Structure 1
Amino acid sequence: MMREVTFGGTTVSAIGIGTWHMGDRTDRRDAEIAAIQAGIHAGARVVDTAEMYGSGRSENLVGEALTPFKREDLFLISKVLPENASRDRMQTSLEASLKRLRTDYLDLYLYHWRGNVPLAETITELQRLQKTGLIHRWGVSNFDGDDLQELWGLPEGPKVAANEDLYHLGSRGVEYAVLPWQQAHQVPFIAYSPIAQGDTHGHQLASNPVVKEVAAAHQVGIYEILLAWVISHDQVLAIPKTSSVDHMRANIAAGQLTLSAAELTALDRQFPKPTTATPLDIL
């Protein structure tokens, strides 16, 4: 059974498609478009991008990749840079993203990370844009526990639809305060880099013997287990990125994997959950 996440009344499969670093190389463009399209054909609804990714090149790629599909069948996420998150600049930034994405609206628009614009001004403008119909929901990204509490204290803060942070088996800091807070306040969590960017940052997830053992038991690859672990948590959406059609199909299929209590316990022993607060992990 496919795990799901609900954003303000819209339910999507718990594994979507990330696009960070996509669109940067012309020699990979066809493969990247094919991978995105394969993910949607395999059952993904969510595609996550940002104006920052390749200075708009990722949005351009996504816009081209999505042309064969019905817009209402998709859940499209993009993000606004901190320097554009003001009353004077946000709508212009949003409209440029929409043009690159070849769409009239975003299902979710995220404040990419905190900058110098007062948070209250950013949230007020996001709420105004929602009322125009250019975005259907708004949220935040790279917010820690203190940021979320500050946000919740604003008049329109509780209307936040999601927070997107780095989260994978080797980086569990959000489990101490952020994830419990979001679950208690019914704010969905989006996990970026859910497979640790292919194990390139020293976490040794793919080489861990217990991860390998669990993968063998399910007759799947290592990364499917890492994704299944991330979405085993309630109301968590994972957005892995790949330029391979085969890997994309495997990623989406991981949404149907269920890890046993014993397997989850074994993974916990290898990669313990945090017992104290730690700074928010970011890339």
Structure 2
Amino acid sequence: MRFSRVLRVGAVVAATSLALAACGGGNGGGGGDEGGNESLVQRAESGRLTVGIKIDQPGLGLQTPDGGYEGFDVDVAKYIAKELGVEEGDIEFKETPSAQRENAIEKGDVDFIVASYSITDERKQKVDFAGPYFLAHQDLLVRADDNSIKGAEDLNGKKLCSVKGSTSAQNVKEDFAKDADLQEYAGYSECLTGLESGAVDALTTDDTILAGYAAQNPGKFKLVGANLSDENYGVGLKKGDTEGREAINNAIKKMQDSGEWKKSAEKWFGPSGYQVGEPPAIEQ
């Protein structure tokens, strides 16, 4: 009986040790449940962060030929990380396609996301948002010499392009031009090729994305300035991380007040003729 009790005590000690070891591992940015209860601020104390971005959107988040990353969203992400105590060289940027953003945050694959991530009530059910840090609008991109399209209502009978799975083009058909001929391509680059060749008459998505493409192709395209919707871009992070949300909000406010926000926005969007307005009010 005594020997049995010793075994039981030993088993309890071993189980407790394993549980404590499991609770102490990981920094929360590498995936799975490791460190899942840590706040963003606590994870930043390790000196490294994993940040989700887009890598195929000129002006917002683009991977360069040398393997680096550039764009307004990238600048915002770097500024936030620095305010959290993490230098640029210690950031791991990770591609997060639109359909995978909530999952990446919930699983801990990324510490936060800056990727033209519009704040919506549906998304708020799964993740928290800091910001917004930018107010974008759905717009139209047309050829620079096309003066026939000055608004969405001018798209009736014309070919409108957007990517498969996007709601932008459907919004135009339902609310502005029901007789628009919708063309859905696999990617924006294909829409641009079609727009340049005349295969389509207009491309629609967020004006920030369109401005990036226009800036990348000087003299070929222009934004109509239709302002078909408001898209408040937020920084996505783990739901319930109040401390992390407040820290990001403070970083965004500092970026705005310092003039770095305006400088970055004009650098990446200005060459297209895009008029950068004032930053949106941060939600507390």
Q: TM-score, normalised by structure 1?
A: 0.26
TM-score (structure 2 length as normaliser): 0.26
Higher strand share: 2
- Which of these two proteins has the greater Rg computed from alpha carbons? 2
